[in-house]
Structure 1
């Protein structure tokens, strides 16, 4: 007979390291005087910490620079473009009317690139000579180089106004000017970039600054048309009258003249863009 044995009992699971609540560091007991003081300090510090955290988060999330930054040369905070009061980048400034000089409202001065397309376009349309006037009709046309920052129709209208002014070359019924867009013409008034002016005026040296006559064309340097000349100061309107009359004068057969004396009116065929030679500026062939 075999001895009766009891079935084996499962072994009790071994206990790992006891994990419980972290043991609190020794501190003042609740209800003690030290405990009450610590509680009061906790109530004061907690709102201060919360306010600091809120301010830090708000500063980190804000994308707009503060108003206290040092302005850069553009007038806004350093490294930022200038902004309008509404917070948006300012739109390009509109051209305001020119100042009044010598009793005349001036055209707005325009900066002109050194070179444009190099190709002329004839201004379309026509303008009749003055009605009721005597004198033979002189046909001419107006061209403008593509790419210049001017209105072609406005330029053509100004040329026609100047040429048919009684103080211009038609004075006393000598001639009347008719603008046409095609057919035979006596001359062409051509507004040209400095680069094209220099090329077409050779062998004359215009240096990007002067105008000239070249063949049938009376070439107006667009830089001078845009900003005038130091000899005329701020009076761009009067300088434009001069440069038209001077270059058309060459087309009509007139050569350069000299100043007749200090303080006198400069004849229109004096190279007034370069120097007045002691004379006063004058844009007209017959200024009286």
Structure 2
């Protein structure tokens, strides 16, 4: 049989890879670690150099440490979601910096809502930076191939390799891709499922699997990408 005729059959046989399917896993041991809105869509000059220099190990300790301390939710109405941040020991990331990045994303005007970071249960979601090997283990039976992130139980498992390197379809905008990772996986925690690209040239829904493909959409890291501009205009109208 010609190779061209075999390709569709081979594609059907490839393992399923994605995020958001609730897997059944054995959670790793979690221990504490002490600690005391980006709007640009352009990569900073330091981002490509930082990605080139950072070496993310395939496997680290396999043990999470809760980032100590907390942060308040953004002002305004709406239910406050309690969450905590975990970082696998042995990864080349500062836990406090990661926690700060997560908090800014979750409480951005374009984000899901109001989030309070704590370091003690009860919490609705744990955001966990994980090595590729721990990501694979935490996401089973979903097959991530050590490349994707997932939602598991009450844990948003963020693949450290993707956090460090991003994906080509974000065209070097690492900060935007990181906003997407957090927004997407926490979106699953809030009960949102995957969504397809709504049409060529349109912004991808944040719940589209943008780490795999944009389809024919444009990248978008936010649940409500137009909200900040609307609120700014409403503020200006009130001042007139």
What is the TM-score of this pair, normalised by structure 1?
0.62
1:122 maps to 66
C-alpha contact 1:197 1:211 (8 A) present in aligned 2: yes
SS of 1:253's partner is coil
Cα–Cα, structure 1 residues 203 and 104, in superposed 2: closer, same or farther, change >3 Å? same
1:251 maps to which residue? 189
Deviations 1:30-88 (A, max 9, x none): xxxxxxxxxxxxxxxxxxxxxxxxxxxxxxxxxxxxxxxxxxxxxxxxxxxxxxxxxxx
| Cα pair 1:106 1:235 within 8 Å, conserved | no
Greater relative contact order (Cα 8 A, min sep 6): structure 1 or 2? 2
Shift of 1:102: 1.7
Contact 1:106–1:236 under 8 Å retained in 2: no
| CA positional deviation for 1:104 | 4.4
The counterpart of 2:177, out of the listed 239, 245, 248, is 239
Q: Say whether residues 1:261 and 2:196 are aligned partners.
A: no
- Corresponding residue to 2:142 among 199, 204, 209: 204
Match of 1:161 in 2: 104
Q: How far apart in 1 are the matches of 2:97 and 2:188?
A: 23
User: 2:46, 2:102 → 1: CA distance?
Assistant: 16
RMSD between aligned residues? 1.4
Quick check: 1:102 aligned with 2:42? yes
What is the distance in 1 between the residues matched to 2:43 and 2:63?
Answer: 37
Mark the runs of 5 or more structure 1 residues left unpaired by the alignment: 1-99, 171-175
Does residue 83 of structure 2 align to residue 143 of structure 1? no
Output the CA distance in 2 between the equivalents of 1:103 and 1:208.
Answer: 25
Question: How far apart, in 2, do the equivalents of 1:227 and 1:103 lie?
Answer: 13
Unaligned 5+ residue runs, structure 2?
1-39, 227-240
Question: Quick check: which one's helix share is greater?
Answer: 2
User: Closer, same or farther in 2 for the Cα pair 1:101/1:257, shift >3 Å?
Assistant: closer
C-alpha distance in 2 between matches for 1:199 and 1:149: 20
CA distance in 1, matches of 2:43, 2:96: 25
Aligned to 1:112: 56
Question: How far apart, in 2, do the equivalents of 1:183 and 1:103 lie?
Answer: 36
Tell me the distance in 1 between the aligned counterparts of 2:137 and 2:62. 10
Q: Counterparts in 2 of 1:176-187, with a 5 A limit? A: 176-187=114-125
